[in-house]
């Protein structure tokens, strides 16, 4: 039987004889299965057709809780047999089945042969043993119709039943569906783990932004749930993990997600939640978590529905906070609201799926991906806005200074040119005093972050007053321009060269320790003396001081040390480079 183009089981039967498994893939055996409560039946039992056997049907996937048998509602504990007859296409000799979770132990028979099991199925509570073991099994088909019998027993979980539909098909179709499912699980988990690491790094760098830390923890908890639900990849890595332990981890990770997420929102939107609401969420989450730790699964699995109610109430409260943030024009709130609504919708779908046992949907994790993407856009927008605001403030400040100093129309016409050259010295073309400090601060942050070296060289033209007195200030400017050119051409692109003031220059040696920067500075000194004689016809020398930035040191202190070393070079005869270290200089690569 089929529902449109999708085959389903109807009255315990499904006709798949015309289904092309190669083209259309495997089929989930969902629908009406024969159901025999408190009976563990085999194929031989139906050959003798016992008089006490009366056919009853139950939807798969579903729980058997509340199902009416002989006028009585079935509880969560017990055992039962599910039966479906499947007609398969001609020529399909080997049949594959993919079985997921059932509560909480099962055996699968095909035409009377045991082909798969999970845990120990038994009518005796003491003999039953739960287990998680998604598996692919196969059997050789002998008849046109295949009789599939699934025996299920449950004494460990609040809900019992056939939770996930079995997938049937040939090897290609079942393996393809299994591969896609595993790939989707690992893709989602890998994406969320990478986001957890990314936001953890941001949190470590910008410690006042605690929202990133809590979002990272939330992503980690979500990754744990992916790892232990769905395809239950954890079973492949830790085969001997206890069923009860896995259940506790699954529930604990779920119960911890809500308070962490609420805290993330609270920090992100600057305390939009009342303290009473936060305390309520924390208290209930703590109580539910303690229940999971102390009691067995049969007890704490009953709390899931109550916690779903808490999630829905909290979601509504979060929506109120988001609406308030959008109303207050908080940057990124609109993008965040779109992401949260999508995520909350996925959460609601997952809750409905769990309550009605519609099988594993996975919408929560895809909703999480959408949510993370929207958060990334919101954060990028916030950072961009911060940069734009900074640029606007800098521009406004520049304009204010320019308006104060505007003495004539000529200065106004050059205003735009000055803005474009705000980082460069007008004479030498090097970074100016302000920008070289910004470059130093930027490189110091990166050096501390990655543990790399950073050195500073301060240089001064020897007896520059004599040059101006003997040759004039215009010639002195040429000397400054020539020294600037030599310093720029003989340093790397990653280094930063600036005119610190007057005839004084600064070079930031990126990734170089004091030994290397000292060697390079010696080369610069020699090049200045050689090239200026050649190009300008006068002998001009420079003196310098080189020092290495210490770990977490304020860059201003390093500049002060380099300046002191520069003046030591002046006192020691000029045309030399001084440094604080006394070891033999390293060879430059």
The residues, ordered by sequence, that sit 6+ positions from 556 with a Cβ below 8 Å of its Cβ are: none
Residue of 303, 191, 292 lying closest to 250 (CA atoms): 292
Q: Is 376 helix (H, G, I), strand (E, B) or coil?
A: helix
Q: How many CB atoms lie within 10 A of CB 386?
A: 11
Query: What distance in Å separates the CA atoms of residue 277 and residue 281, rounded to the nearest whole number?
Result: 6
- The 10 Å CB-count burial string (b at 16+, else e) for 115-140 is bbbbbebbeeeeebbbbbbbeebebe
Residue of 338, 454, 434, 356 lying closest to 394 (CA atoms): 434
Query: What distance in Å separates the CA atoms of residue 476 and residue 395, rounded to the nearest whole number?
Result: 33
Q: Using alpha carbons only, give the angle 138, 139, 142 rounded to the nearest 5 degrees.
A: 155
Query: What distance in Å separates the CA atoms of residue 560 and residue 566, rounded to the nearest whole number?
Result: 10
Query: What distance in Å separates the CA atoms of residue 163 and residue 153, rounded to the nearest whole number?
Result: 12
DSSP 80-100: EEEEEEEE--TT--EEEEEE-
Q: Is 572 helix (H, G, I), strand (E, B) or coil?
A: coil
Residue of 164, 292, 297 lying closest to 231 (CA atoms): 164
Query: What distance in Å separates the CA atoms of residue 350 and residue 69, rounded to the nearest whole number?
Result: 29
In which residue are the tokens 């699968």 written?
Answer: 108
Strand 27-28 with 62-63, pairing:
unpaired
Q: Using alpha carbons only, give the angle 134, 227, 234 rounded to the nearest 5 degrees.
A: 55
Q: Is 18 helix (H, G, I), strand (E, B) or coil?
A: coil
Q: Which of 32, 34, 164, 503 is catalytic?
A: 503
- Do residues 248 and 292 touch, judged by C-beta distance below 8 A? yes
Query: What distance in Å separates the CA atoms of residue 123 and residue 78, rounded to the nearest whole number?
Result: 7
CA distances from 400 to 393, 413, 414 (A): 10, 15, 15
Query: What distance in Å separates the CA atoms of residue 419 and residue 398, rounded to the nearest whole number?
Result: 8
Strand 78-87 with 13-15, pairing:
parallel
Q: How many CB atoms lie within 10 A of CB 37?
A: 17
Q: Is 229 helix (H, G, I), strand (E, B) or coil?
A: coil
Backbone angles phi, psi at 168, to 5 degrees: -120, 145
Backbone angles phi, psi at 510, to 5 degrees: -80, 125
In which residue are the tokens 């919101």 written?
Answer: 378
Show the tokens assigned to 256: 């911890």
Residue 503 bears catalytic tag? yes
Specify the DSSP class assigned to residue 104. S
E strands, 132-275, in order: 135-140, 145-154, 161-162, 167-169
Q: Is 461 helix (H, G, I), strand (E, B) or coil?
A: strand
Residues acting as catalytic residues: 503
């Amino acid at each position: 039987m089929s529902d449109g183009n999708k085959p389903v089981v109807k009255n315990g039967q499904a006709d798949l004889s015309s289904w092309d498994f190669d083209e259309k893939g495997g089929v989930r055996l969902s629908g009406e299965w024969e159901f025999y409560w408190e009976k563990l039946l085999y194929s031989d039992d139906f050959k003798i057709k016992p008089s006490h056997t009366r056919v009853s049907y139950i939807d798969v996937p579903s729980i058997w809780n509340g199902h009416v048998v002989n006028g009585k509602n079935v509880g969560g504990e017990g055992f039962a047999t599910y039966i479906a007859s499947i007609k398969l296409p001609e020529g399909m000799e080997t049949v594959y089945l993919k079985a997921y979770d059932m509560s909480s132990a099962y055996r699968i028979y095909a035409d009377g042969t045991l082909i798969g099991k999970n845990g120990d199925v038994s009518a005796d509570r003491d003999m039953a043993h739960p287990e998680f073991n998604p598996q692919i099994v196969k059997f050789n088909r002998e008849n046109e119709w295949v009789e599939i019998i699934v025996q299920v027993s449950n004494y460990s979980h609040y809900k019992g039943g056939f939770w996930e539909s079995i997938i049937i098909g040939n090897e290609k179709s079942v393996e393809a569906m299994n591969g896609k499912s595993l790939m989707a699980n690992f893709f989602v988990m890998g994406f969320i783990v990478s986001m957890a690491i990314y936001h953890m790094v941001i949190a470590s760098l910008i410690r006042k932004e605690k929202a990133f830390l809590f979002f990272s923890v939330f992503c980690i908890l979500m990754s744990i749930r992916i790892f232990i639900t769905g395809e239950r990849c954890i079973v492949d890595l830790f085969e001997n993990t206890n069923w009860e332990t896995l259940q506790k981890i699954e529930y604990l990770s779920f119960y911890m997600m809500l308070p962490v997420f609420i805290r993330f929102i609270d920090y992100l939107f600057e305390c939009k939640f009342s303290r009473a609401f936060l305390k309520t969420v924390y208290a209930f989450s703590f109580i539910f978590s303690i229940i999971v730790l102390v009691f067995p699964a049969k007890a704490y699995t009953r709390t899931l529905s109550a916690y779903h109610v808490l999630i829905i109430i909290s979601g509504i409260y979060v929506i109120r906070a988001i609406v308030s943030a959008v109303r207050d024009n908080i940057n990124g709130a609109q993008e965040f609201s779109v992401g949260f609504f999508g995520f909350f919708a996925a959460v609601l779908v997952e809750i409905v799926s769990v309550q009605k046992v519609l099988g594993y949907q996975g919408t929560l994790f895809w909703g999480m991906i959408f949510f993370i993407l929207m958060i990334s856009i919101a954060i990028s927008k916030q950072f961009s806005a911060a940069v734009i605001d900074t640029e606007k403030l800098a521009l406004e400040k520049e304009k204010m200074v320019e308006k104060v100093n505007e003495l004539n129309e000529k200065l106004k016409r050059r205003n735009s040119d000055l803005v474009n050259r705000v980082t460069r010295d007008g004479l030498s073309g090097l970074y100016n005093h302000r920008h070289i400090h910004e470059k130093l601060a930027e490189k110091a942050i990166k050096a501390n972050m990655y543990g790399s070296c950073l050195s500073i060289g301060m240089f001064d033209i020897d007896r520059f007053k004599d040059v101006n007195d003997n040759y004039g200030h215009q010639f002195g400017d040429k000397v400054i321009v020539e020294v600037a050119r030599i310093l720029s051409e003989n340093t790397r692109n990653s280094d930063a060269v600036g005119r610190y003031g007057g005839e004084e220059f600064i070079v930031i040696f990126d990734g170089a320790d004091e030994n290397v920067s000292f060697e390079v500075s010696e080369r610069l000194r020699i090049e200045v003396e050689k090239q200026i004689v050649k190009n300008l016809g006068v002998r001009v020398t420079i003196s310098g001081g080189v020092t290495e930035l210490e770990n977490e040191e304020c860059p201003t202190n390093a500049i002060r040390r380099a300046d002191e070393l520069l003046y030591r070079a002046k006192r020691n005869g000029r045309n030399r480079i001084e440094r604080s270290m006394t070891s033999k200089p390293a060879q430059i690569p």
